[in-house]
Structure 1
Amino acid sequence: MAVLLLGPLLRYVDEISATVWVETDRPCEVHVRCENGAGGAERTWQVGGHHYALVPVAGLTPGSETPYRVLLDGGQVWPLPDSRFPDSTIHTPAAPGDDPADQHLRVAFGSCRWAAPPADSHDPVGPDALDTLAATLAADPARQRPDVLLLLGDQVYADQTSDATAQLLAARRDTSEPPWKQVADYEEYTHLYAESWLDPEVRWLLSTVPSCLIFDDHDVIDDWNTSAAWQTRMRATSWWRERLLGGLMSYWVYQHLGNLSPAELEKDELYARVRALPDGTDLVREFAAAADADPGCARWSYRRDFGRVRLVMIDTRATRVLDEGRRAMLDPAEAEWLREQILADHGAYDHLLIGSSLPWLLPNLIHDAEGWNAALCAGARGARWARRSESLRQRADLEHWAAFPESFAALTDLLVEAGSGDAAPATVCVLSGDVHHAYVAEPHWHDGSEPAGRVLQLTCSPVHNSIPATMRAGFRFGWSRLGRRLGHALARHARLDRPSIGWRRTGGPWFGNQLMTLTLNGRAARLRLDQAQDGKSGKDGKSGKDGKDGKDGKSGQSGKSGGVRLVCAWDEVLTGRQERDG
């Protein structure tokens, strides 16, 4: 009998359809059957000796919740026998024609999740926020779940493996040779995903809450595509090509396909060809190689509309232009696609969410330091400064939006355009991670003009990782008045133009393992930050601003290990200016 190795992951859900992703141990027929009669079936396809299916589920009812089962060749494999978790369900949104004021959406998001160790092992980075959320929901089935989970990068860490993974790699090859204890190829990537997604609580959560995913650097390697010099150095190594191909191939299989709707899947030529072959490995490998050579061969960015909420997820890694003199976060085709998706049917959405793994607005000093460094790398102060600045860029991870000044300005202008006019959305929120702390930042326009919608940077990281005390101090200093003055001095040294906006931190910084949740009701919005805490030791996170107690003390008790809970560190109403002024 076929065995379910990984999944099910509930990926796409709309009013009448869904997709469910699984990995099995052999070729088989995968059925998803719902209690209300909806369902779907799909034959597995093969990549790299592994077997997968992404099952389209049809016949769902708008505004309903129905439990589902997974069967392989007719035998039930999910729910697991004697499962201690509630039923996995598919919860569909209300039909689009319903009153917009009655439409509700809860969006939980975060990034940077290093795989949690087994429950009986010491966790060096503190309790996992995603695991704690799952345990909290499982212990209280009546508690309201997120409608969608956005994981904004670093779902796996190819360059920072656990002790268990390092042992597995050592059994396959000599880890004293490059790439050492980092993953080397597709097969090793499959182990990373299994390690991350087989955690019992997380496995259940991903089976019942739809997810939207995008990669960041650690899904491939730290500081992926920092600069042309970085890329040249990596391509000269003996191991980089196989690592990159394994990363892109596994991302396509494990993350990207589930981001697509059933209609988009039907139009995807590569997906159709892979499903039609006994083994699609060569096709996916050729695709990954082409995507690396020419970013125009692949589009990892995507758009999802949830009623009157629009989500646009941006690939901020693979489509960069790295040549000095024309550096850009997005190549021209990707930038135009982004503009089209944001502005299409302007007025058709009440909230615009931009998923960018890298924050648009950083601590002020860090933003100016990245702009200063970019200008010096481009030769603003001569060749010697350029050489030293390139070295600094790679060592200090200076490669966010601020390190691509023209792209930063273009995104700023686009957000203003999206948030302006009589049909402006109530909020325009950039959702980000990467920087291993959480904060809320709000821009202001130097010329006094402001868009009608409220524009915010919402950053939440990590879900499960850590940050050295020195970096915590550095981030706090970056937000300080003295830090801003130092940043202005760097900008003057590099002869940088003054940006059209300034910004201030209105929440945070918060450190610890955490998740943010946006609750959107009609044109109203509310933001909450929850941190995972070990109640016995107080380990990590320290819950409120700069490590003080949580704002309101609300918490949810986890059922996984005694004392681990979610503690609310921030809870704020976010509304468009139209509503506040009214």
Structure 2
Amino acid sequence: MAGLRLGPLLRHVDWETGTGATVWIEADRACEAEVRCADGAGGAARTWRIAGHHYALIPVTGLRPGAETAYRVLLDGEQVWPLPDSPFPDSTIRTPTPRHPATGEASATGEALATGEAPTAGEASTAGEAPGAPATVRVAFGSCRWAARPADSSPDPIGPDALGALAHTLAHTPGAERPDVLVLLGDQIYADETSEATRRWLAARRDVKQPPWEQVADYEEYTRLYDESWLDPEVRWLLSTVPSCMIFDDHDVIDDWNTSEAWLRRMRATPWWRERILSGLMSYWVYQHLGNLSPAELAADPLYAAVREAPDGTEPLREFAARADADPTYARWSYRRDFGRVRLLMVDTRAARVLTEGERAMVAEPELAWLREQALDGADGYATEGSAGPYDHLLIGTSLPWLLPHFVHDVEAWNAAVCGGARGPRWARLGEDLRRRGDLEHWAAFPESFEALTELIAKVGGGPSAPATISVLSGDVHHAYIAEPDWSRWPQPPDSRVRQLTCSPVHNRTYASIRLGFRFGWSRAGRRLGRAFARHGRVTPSRLDWSRTGGPWFGNQLMTLTLRGRAARLRLDQARPDPSGGGARLVTALETDGL
């Protein structure tokens, strides 16, 4: 009998029709995987094989728009989910009500409304809304989740997991607001910082005194990290019932991944790097990337077809990973998701980099062109006076913040200049050493890319078709904050409200040095010192200025944007131990009335 090794993960839910979804699973052998919903909807798919592991991404069709339905997972006809004696509610799929594309108002043509049936209990935020009502979309986001917890019952030394706390809240609090999507902005796993349990497992498998020591080395070891991360009971249930979007950051492969040309050259000279990078990209494609795509995108993907049709898809996937590593323009890991009149553009800021000194870019030109195209797609059709644009809110998901503390921004811009030779070869060598030691590789370290993103945001935010808000969602820096641009020196300031919303970590350490460093980075003294660095590097100042309007907050945390019509509300929740002893809970540290 086939068993469920990992999952299910509810990934893509169709916001255009409200009738479809995809569910990802890993089985322990080849089998027929099936999803059956309580209302008769469902779907099935044969598993496909990568490196001895068996996966399926099951398309679910026939769902009722504007409704919620429980589902089961079966392998070869035998139920494997929900687990026996599960303490959690049934996993469900919530579907939105179809809406008019220009106004975002609920349509009476959706099946749930057309039949006149009452909504089910715990209906989705967009389900069952009356015709004419604007959609409500809740987007929870964060990054940096180190999954390992103490093996015994001792307190977690890095505090409660915010995803676990969210799961506990949703499972045990009637009426709790459930996100419509969970956006995970990088470092879903830590390939270079393994837990004690994983280190013991690695030591039993190979000699960890040899490179890459107690870091992961190959595809099989990557699967161990996903097991550790996604088999946590609370997080497993959460991912089975809240749709998710994901993108990688450096620790999904290795700290400082693609920092610079010199870094990459050094890594490629090591005997273990090639297997590490290929395994990292292969496992990311299987475990994270595929679920980001719609059924139509999957159907058009030649690699997905080749993997499914082959007796073993390892070689086609490995060849793809090798070409993607060699050429930043070969694969597109970025993607777009539309949630009614909310558009999310998830941007790859790791594998799409150009690292050659003198040509450095956070994203290669084809990737930047794609970002422009997606941000502006549909705008011309609505760009008439008094009409709405193609969306009311634009979310740009980039693991690395666009707007950093001023000191950090200026030091990274200085570092980019001296590494490029602005102060001669001696400073260039010193700058490269500092770049690697200090993780100086955010948007500010790629000044032309920073300006290009800024110009795109200003362009999208201007004119009659401008969205109400543009939010840049980021993580990475192990604290949370809100930053607001000052467009006073910009030729044509945007009409949209623009914010940098940074939330990190979901579950990780925040050392005292990080707290002190980022507090200083936002201070007036930090700003003055940063300007001195910029002058030394002969850095041309950006026309854009910005200020911190919220935070910094430290701890394990999640942000949630609630978007309704053209209004936006932001909440920051931090994970705290439950005094009643029932796990962890979320405590609201910030809630705004609007953005």
State if a TM-score over 0.5 links the two structures.
yes
Distance in 2 of aligned mates of 1:567 and 1:256: 31
Aligned mate of 1:262, from 295, 302, 312: 295
Matched, 1:209 2:228: no
Matches within 5 A, 1:101-500: 101-117=133-149, 118=151, 120-346=153-379, 347-447=389-489, 449-500=492-543
Q: Letter of the 1:234 partner, please give it.
A: M
Q: Report deviation, 1:61.
A: 1.7
Distance in 2 of aligned mates of 1:246 and 1:141: 42
Q: Report deviation, 1:565.
A: 1.7
Distance in 1 of aligned mates of 2:134 and 2:565: 6
Q: Report deviation, 1:471.
A: 1.6
Say if 1:116 and 1:464, in contact at 8 Å, map to a contact too: no
Distance in 1 of aligned mates of 2:27 and 2:512: 43
Q: Letter of the 2:512 partner, please give it.
A: A
Distance in 1 of aligned mates of 2:560 and 2:569: 8
Say if 2:164 and 2:584, in contact at 8 Å, map to a contact too: no
- What is the match of residue 559 of structure 2? 516
Q: Letter of the 1:362 partner, please give it.
A: L
**Secondary structure in 2 matching 1:102:** coil
Distance in 2 of aligned mates of 1:239 and 1:374: 29
Matched, 1:566 2:566: no
**Secondary structure in 2 matching 1:352:** strand
Distance in 2 of aligned mates of 1:573 and 1:337: 34
- What is the match of residue 54 of structure 1? 57
Say if 1:415 and 1:428, in contact at 8 Å, map to a contact too: yes
Distance in 1 of aligned mates of 2:423 and 2:488: 28
Distance in 1 of aligned mates of 2:331 and 2:154: 40
Is the deviation greater in 441-450 or in 374-383? 441-450
Q: Report deviation, 1:121.
A: 4.4
Matches within 5 A, 1:1-16: 1-14=1-14, 15-16=18-19
User: Identity across aligned pairs (percent)?
Assistant: 70
Q: Report deviation, 1:468.
A: 1.2
Say if 2:189 and 2:229, in contact at 8 Å, map to a contact too: yes
Distance in 2 of aligned mates of 1:33 and 1:93: 19
Cα displacement string for residues 475-519 of structure 1 (whole angstroms, at most 9, x for unaligned residues): 000000111111111111111111011110000000000000000
**Secondary structure in 1 matching 2:353:** coil
Q: Report deviation, 1:188.
A: 0.1
Q: Report deviation, 1:141.
A: 4.3
**Secondary structure in 1 matching 2:576:** strand
Q: Report deviation, 1:277.
A: 1.1
Distance in 2 of aligned mates of 1:318 and 1:445: 31
- What is the match of residue 76 of structure 2? 73
Distance in 2 of aligned mates of 1:370 and 1:441: 18
Q: Report deviation, 1:563.
A: 6.2
Distance in 2 of aligned mates of 1:384 and 1:446: 38
Indicate the RMSD between aligned Cα atoms, in angstroms. Answer: 1.2
Distance in 1 of aligned mates of 2:61 and 2:328: 33
Distance in 2 of aligned mates of 1:564 and 1:265: 37
Cα displacement string for residues 523-577 of structure 1 (whole angstroms, at most 9, x for unaligned residues): 10000000001255xxxxxxxxxxxxxxxxxxxx8xxx446321101111334xx
Distance in 2 of aligned mates of 1:564 and 1:201: 11
Distance in 2 of aligned mates of 1:573 and 1:344: 30
Tell me: CA distance 1:381–1:147, structure 2 relative to 1, closer, same or farther (3 Å): same
Unmatched runs of 5 consecutive residues or more in structure 2 = 107-132, 380-388
Q: Letter of the 1:115 partner, please give it.
A: A
- What is the match of residue 111 of structure 2? none
Say if 1:433 and 1:459, in contact at 8 Å, map to a contact too: yes
Cα displacement string for residues 205-257 of structure 1 (whole angstroms, at most 9, x for unaligned residues): 00000000000000000010000000000000011110101100000000000
Distance in 2 of aligned mates of 1:121 and 1:267: 49
Q: Letter of the 1:235 partner, please give it.
A: R
Q: Report deviation, 1:467.
A: 1.7
Distance in 2 of aligned mates of 1:292 and 1:425: 36
Q: TM-score, normalised by structure 2?
A: 0.91
Q: Report deviation, 1:446.
A: 3.7
Say if 1:151 and 1:211, in contact at 8 Å, map to a contact too: yes
Distance in 1 of aligned mates of 2:457 and 2:32: 45
- What is the match of residue 578 of structure 1? none
Is the deviation greater in 526-535 or in 257-266? 526-535
Q: TM-score, normalised by structure 1?
A: 0.93
Distance in 2 of aligned mates of 1:267 and 1:68: 27
Distance in 1 of aligned mates of 2:500 and 2:263: 28
Is the deviation greater in 508-517 or in 121-130? 121-130
Q: Letter of the 2:494 partner, please give it.
A: P
Q: Letter of the 1:573 partner, please give it.
A: D
**Secondary structure in 2 matching 1:296:** coil
Q: Letter of the 1:441 partner, please give it.
A: A
Say if 2:168 and 2:584, in contact at 8 Å, map to a contact too: no
Q: Letter of the 1:148 partner, please give it.
A: V
Distance in 1 of aligned mates of 2:406 and 2:66: 43
**Secondary structure in 1 matching 2:404:** coil
Q: Letter of the 2:219 partner, please give it.
A: Y
Cα displacement string for residues 396-449 of structure 1 (whole angstroms, at most 9, x for unaligned residues): 000000000000000000000111101110100000000000000000124265
- What is the match of residue 99 of structure 1? 105
Say if 2:185 and 2:474, in contact at 8 Å, map to a contact too: yes
- What is the match of residue 534 of structure 1? 577
Q: Report deviation, 1:94.
A: 1.3
Unmatched runs of 5 consecutive residues or more in structure 1 = 537-556, 576-582
Aligned mate of 1:504, from 523, 526, 547: 547
Cα displacement string for residues 348-384 of structure 1 (whole angstroms, at most 9, x for unaligned residues): 1000000000000000000000000000000000110
Distance in 2 of aligned mates of 1:474 and 1:297: 38
**Runs of 4 or more above 4 Å deviation:** none
Tell me: CA distance 1:159–1:69, structure 2 relative to 1, closer, same or farther (3 Å): same
Q: Letter of the 1:458 partner, please give it.
A: L
**Secondary structure in 2 matching 1:322:** coil
